[in-house]
């Protein structure tokens, strides 16, 4: 009898083994995506969240992307790279300029009178990276490279001509911005964009360089009523993983991520950003409370000549300036020709 019981027990153990759930190796790989944007932001709702879904679909359920908007893993844009390095996040939405000195070649995208839309800037950024022209990415796996639309000048005072800008105190976000404002005989003031609206309302500064979505999201539009549409450079943004974390993923997971990333991801962002920018611009231009100035003809030529000095000076001082500007201009020609 005892022998029969032992035999039955052995059969039960074997059955349990052969009918057990799939091994943990087949469980989805969880990737934590740090996003400091609020969940209501257009870039989050219409670009980043849908991209995460496409990753999961491309992996056939082998990847589970956990979204952490609103800075849940780290609120400051400046800490996003550290979140990747420390393993707090696996993927991050980052503004490269917050890591000063790491991405010196990105500044070519900040130059005035180059990028005319987020779509142009985003595709250009990706192609510059693909051609191996951008330094600072050796420890990263970029998944999407984007830019804002071009910065314009927004103030609380009347501003139409070059002369009107002289002496104004304008918020600046970086070295090229500083050079642009100094060329215009304005005073650059370094401030986070989150402080711009309050600083303008209190008279600490007269205005800011910004694009339309940032102008709206940070309510700068409530305290600026003059808007000068001259393209004064774009701001690079990226979604990336650390190279070490990416290469540690199973090969199939890597391929699934890459399948929905790259230039197609950059294009998707640019289209959404431009559509929303056009909406905000149109509402502002139609409002009786705002004055939107779009220089053309000789007036635009004067702005182009003045700000061309900024680009030329940047090329002279940057060790790869001529190569980078030439490459960007070549890429922009291709994009505008539909290539």
Residues 222 and 169 in one domain: yes
Which structural domain range is residue 171 located in? 152-233+289-336
Q: What is the pLDDT of residue 280?
A: 97
Q: Do 98 and 136 fall within a single domain?
A: yes
- pLDDT beyond 60 at 20: no
pLDDT tens sequence across 212-266: 999 998 899 999 999 999 999 999 999 999 999 999 999 999 999 999 999 999 9
Residues 180 and 261 placed together within one structural domain of the fold: no
Whole-number CA gyration radius for the chain: 25
CATH number at residue 264: 3.40.190.170
The predicted pLDDT at position 4 comes to: 44
Q: Which of 20-24, 139-143, 171-175 has the lowest mean pLDDT?
A: 20-24
* Domain assignment present for 123: yes
Looking at the structure of the chain, the number of domains it has is 2
Q: What is the pLDDT of residues 293-313, one digit of tens each?
A: 999 999 999 999 999 999 999
Examine residue 62 and state whether it is found in any structural domain, yes or no. yes
Residue 11 belongs to a domain: no
Please check whether residues 239 and 99 belong to one and the same domain. yes
β-bridge partners, 94: 238
> What residues have CB less than 8 Å from 277, skipping those under 6 apart?
118, 149, 211, 212, 213
pTM here is 0.89
Instruction: Tell me the pLDDT of the chain averaged across its residues.
Output: 92
Q: Is residue 205 part of a domain?
A: yes
How far is CA 223 from each of CA 139, 199, 204, 251, rounded to the nearest angstrom? 41, 10, 12, 51
Q: Are residues 132 and 38 in the same domain?
A: yes
HEC sequence for 315-331? HHHCCCHHHHHHHHHHH
Whether residue 129 sits in one domain with residue 39: yes
Are 38 and 164 contained in the same domain?
no
For position 176, what pLDDT does the model report? 95
Whether residues 183 and 255 fall in one domain: no
The verdict on residue 317 lying in a domain is yes
Task: Name the burial class of residue 64, with classes exposed (0-12), middle (13-18) and buried (19+) by CB atoms within 10 angstroms of its CB.
Answer: middle
Residue-wise pLDDT for 96-126, tens only, equals: 998 989 999 999 999 999 999 999 999 999 9
The tokens describing 240, both together, are 């990336």
pLDDT at 72: 97
- The answer to whether residues 87 and 215 belong to one domain is no
Same domain, 245 and 129: yes
Whether residue 84 sits in one domain with residue 37? yes
Same domain? For 157 and 143 the reply is no
Strand ranges across the sheet with 91-94? 63-68, 29-34, 91-94, 236-242, 140-147
pLDDT tens, residue by residue, 142-195: 999 999 999 999 999 999 899 999 999 999 988 999 999 999 999 999 988 889
Mean pLDDT for the stretch of residues 255-278: 98
Let me know if residue 12 belongs to a domain. no
Residue 16 domain flag: no
């Amino acid at each position: 009898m005892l022998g029969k019981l032992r035999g039955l027990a052995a059969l039960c153990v074997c059955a349990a083994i052969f009918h057990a759930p799939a091994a943990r190796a087949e469980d989805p790989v969880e990737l934590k995506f740090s996003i400091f944007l609020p969940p209501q932001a257009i870039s989050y709702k219409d670009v980043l969240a849908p991209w995460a879904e496409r990753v999961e679909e491309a992996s056939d359920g082998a990847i589970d992307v956990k979204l952490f908007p609103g800075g849940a893993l780290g609120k400051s844009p400046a800490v996003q790279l550290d979140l990747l390095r420390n393993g707090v996040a696996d993927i991050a939405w980052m503004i490269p300029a917050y890591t000063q000195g790491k991405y010196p070649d990105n500044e070519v995208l900040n130059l005035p009178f180059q990028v005319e839309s987020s779509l142009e800037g985003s595709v250009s950024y990706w192609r510059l990276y693909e051609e191996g022209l951008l330094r600072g990415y050796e420890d990263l796996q970029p998944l999407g490279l984007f830019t804002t639309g071009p910065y314009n000048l927004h103030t609380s005072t009347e501003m139409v001509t070059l002369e009107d800008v002289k002496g104004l105190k304008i918020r600046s976000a970086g070295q090229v911005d500083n050079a642009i404002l100094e060329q215009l005989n304005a005073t650059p003031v370094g401030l986070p964009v989150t402080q711009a609206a309050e600083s303008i309302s209190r008279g600490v500064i007269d205005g800011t360089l910004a694009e339309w979505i940032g102008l709206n999201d940070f309510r700068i539009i409530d305290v600026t009523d003059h808007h000068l549409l001259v393209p004064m450079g774009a701001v690079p943004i990226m979604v990336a993983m650390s190279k070490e974390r990416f290469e540690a993923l199973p090969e199939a997971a890597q391929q699934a991520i890459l399948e929905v990333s790259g230039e197609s991801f950059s294009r998707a962002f640019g289209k959404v950003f431009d559509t929303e920018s056009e909406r905000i611009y149109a509402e502002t231009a139609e409002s009786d409370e705002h004055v939107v100035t779009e220089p053309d003809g000789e007036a635009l030529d004067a702005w182009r000549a003045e700000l061309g000095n900024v680009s030329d000076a940047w090329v002279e001082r940057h060790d790869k300036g001529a190569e980078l500007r030439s490459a960007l201009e070549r890429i922009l020609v291709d994009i505008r020709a539909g290539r």
